Amino acid sequence: QVQLVESGGGSVQAGGSLRLSCTASGDTLSRYCMAWFRQAPGKEREEVARMRSDRTTNYADSVKGRFSISRDNDKNTLYLQMNSLKPEDTAMYYCAAVADSGYYIYYTQFSSGYWGQGTQVTVSS
């Protein structure tokens, strides 16, 4: 059983930066495919970025070049560095984990994985 706790959200002006953290307990993050999701009011949940156990990464087109996902194995923590924030980045951000089988991890597989409680990011114009 993995417990995930996000932190680092807040309110910033457009163009600003935030770094989200997702600290895990119960197991080692490096064994999982980790992802950051976000959901804005009235919108569907969106995958923002993911990192496989081998540290390969993928990003949504909407955040490429602005967001960076990373992992600190010693701290068992996943990060999302968010730069050049835009009002449309406003959402609740969640981290999620699913065991990394070595095969492609489909978006839907995260639904049966582990989730944190979320942290709110608000970007004002």
Which stretches does DSSP call E strand in the chain?
A: 3-7, 10-13, 18-25, 32-39, 46-51, 57-59, 67-72, 77-82, 91-99, 114-115, 119-124
End-to-end Cα, the chain, rounded Å = 40
> CA–CA distance from 108 to each of 26, 61, 98 (Å)?
23, 19, 10
Instruction: Give me the pLDDT at residue 108, please.
Output: 86
Instruction: Give me the pLDDT at residue 51, please.
Output: 97
Could you report the per-residue pLDDT of 59-85, keeping only the tens digit for each? 999 999 999 999 999 999 999 999 999
Residue 106 has pLDDT above 90, yes or no: no
Instruction: Give me the pLDDT at residue 66, please.
Output: 98
CA distance 38 to 70: 17
Q: What number is the average pLDDT over the span 10-28? A: 97
Instruction: Give me the pLDDT at residue 27, please.
Output: 95
Instruction: Give me the pLDDT at residue 102, please.
Output: 84
Residue 8 has pLDDT above 90, yes or no: yes
Q: What number is the average pLDDT over the span 15-42? A: 96
Instruction: Give me the pLDDT at residue 125, please.
Output: 94
